[in-house]
Structure 1
């Protein structure tokens, strides 16, 4: 397509300049602020690279070493441990599924309690939001380390880590979805004598459930990846075997485990994407 079709005439430029003077003709002060912001960001980036010992030589050496490791990984080969790895793959999926499900069940009521249009009391709303922020602020890997210490090694610690982190993340997403709802159905129910519980049940839930289901599917996909990471610290699944094979330098088995992870994530992404589009499409078609 020719660029000439997007060219503006003098009259169009004049009209745009009159309508948006700041955008079309920025003032010297605005240009100075922009230049100063760029300079500050560049200075911060340069300081960060210097402070963290950034080195192009080390990057080049690392890339060469990585290429050497890739040659050691070829071809991927599980050896005699394929049944063990398939069992670990099932553990990883179970950790992701059960952790996401448990986290969603706990986060569901918190999503309503953290929404301003459900709990107007500022102190109750503030307390629930800060609780979700605290839970969400701790990474899944840290939760896994904590639960491995508390309940011991194995997939149970991974389920608890995924579930705990998902409570904070899903609770925030659920509350934002509730706050974005259309208030008219709720006002209609309360104006006809409906109780607050009935307003939530019949005015909010039908609107918010498709959105929550879509978010839940996305988080299952994300937690399937994270469940591999938490396994590295002893929480079961593929990550436990991956860390072990890296430790003993069995690079062909490492590449096979990585390939299993990639296939697992790709399949889950494909299925969850189709389900999300189906849920959203069905919700839009309903009156």
Structure 2
């Protein structure tokens, strides 16, 4: 629907300027503060470029080298290792799926424990939130390095890394979804004599499950990409083979592995997007 544009008369502009002078006609102090902020940010950026030894010459050299590598990558060729790479692709999908599922199963109860409208005790709520923040503050790649040391190389370390990181991130998202629920269904269950557990079961779960399912699908899509990254440090999947081929300068195999990852992510993105829209649509109709 097109919205009509309202034209202000000079008299209207004058009245607005009198009513809100700090917005329409900022004073000299505001202009000076804005100029100082822009100058500070520009100086900070220039200092960062100088301190990190970033120059146009290095950027140009890097781009030329990148172009040379791209030429070496063409055409993509798996050689005789196509069956091995297909198996690694299955490992990558398994790491993403099992890691996301495991993290979601643990995050589900924590999402309710971290929600203010479920656990009103401020100390318990604070403790659960800070625990999730602590786990979430460690990147998936760091968790992968930790679990590779603990359980050894292979997909199991990748699954544990994805599950641990996803548990904390999904727990925070789940708690926010629970806190944003409409209280009327919960109050209706309580007013008819329902227990707190029944209020959660019949008042909260029907509202929150479609949102949680949509978030879970998005995280599976994201973890499919992340599972390749954690594989580079020895957690199995395509990432492990990608790191090996880069070390031995087999650039045609590197490009084939990258192409496999792009296709995998595109397919997962397409399917998960359709499923998310279907879930959201059904929840709105319901």
Q: Which residue of 2 aligns with 1:188?
A: 188
Query: Greater CA deviation, 169-178 or 193-202?
Result: 193-202
The verdict on how the C-alpha distance between 1:7 and 1:129 changes in structure 2, with shifts beyond 3 A counting, is same
Q: Which residue of 1 aligns with 2:25?
A: 25
Q: Which residue of 1 aligns with 2:155?
A: 155
Q: Which residue of 2 aligns with 1:55?
A: 55
Cα separation, 2, equivalents of 1:278 and 1:194: 32
- Structural mapping, 1:227-238, within 5 Å: 227-238=227-238
The verdict on how the C-alpha distance between 1:111 and 1:15 changes in structure 2, with shifts beyond 3 A counting, is farther
Q: Which residue of 2 aligns with 1:225?
A: 225
Give SS of 1:26's match: coil
CA offset at residue 51 of structure 1? 1.6
CA offset at residue 120 of structure 1? 1.0
Structure 2 gap segments, 5+ residues each: none
Q: Which residue of 2 aligns with 1:130?
A: 130
Tell me how many residue pairs correspond in the alignment. Answer: 282
Cα separation, 1, equivalents of 2:265 and 2:207: 30
CA offset at residue 42 of structure 1? 1.8
- Structural mapping, 1:70-219, within 5 Å: 70-219=70-219
Cα separation, 2, equivalents of 1:180 and 1:16: 37
CA offset at residue 11 of structure 1? 4.0
Cα separation, 2, equivalents of 1:44 and 1:115: 40
CA offset at residue 174 of structure 1? 0.5
Cα separation, 1, equivalents of 2:39 and 2:117: 43
Query: Greater CA deviation, 14-23 or 202-211?
Result: 14-23
Cα separation, 1, equivalents of 2:258 and 2:6: 47
Cα separation, 1, equivalents of 2:9 and 2:245: 66
The verdict on how the C-alpha distance between 1:248 and 1:214 changes in structure 2, with shifts beyond 3 A counting, is same
Structure 1 gap segments, 5+ residues each: none
Cα separation, 1, equivalents of 2:192 and 2:19: 47
Cα separation, 2, equivalents of 1:25 and 1:112: 48
Deviating runs (4+, > 6 A) in structure 1? none
Q: Which residue of 2 aligns with 1:249?
A: 249
- 1:147-193 Cα offsets, whole Å, 9 max, x none, are 11111111011000000000111011111111111111112222222
Give SS of 1:45's match: helix
Query: Greater CA deviation, 273-282 or 41-50?
Result: 41-50
Cα separation, 2, equivalents of 1:86 and 1:257: 10
Structure 2-normalised TM-score? 0.95
- 1:51-91 Cα offsets, whole Å, 9 max, x none, are 21111111100000000000000000001111110000000
- 1:83-126 Cα offsets, whole Å, 9 max, x none, are 11000000000000000000000000111111111111111011
Q: Which residue of 1 aligns with 2:283?
A: 283
- 1:180-210 Cα offsets, whole Å, 9 max, x none, are 1111111222222211111111111111111
CA offset at residue 14 of structure 1? 3.7
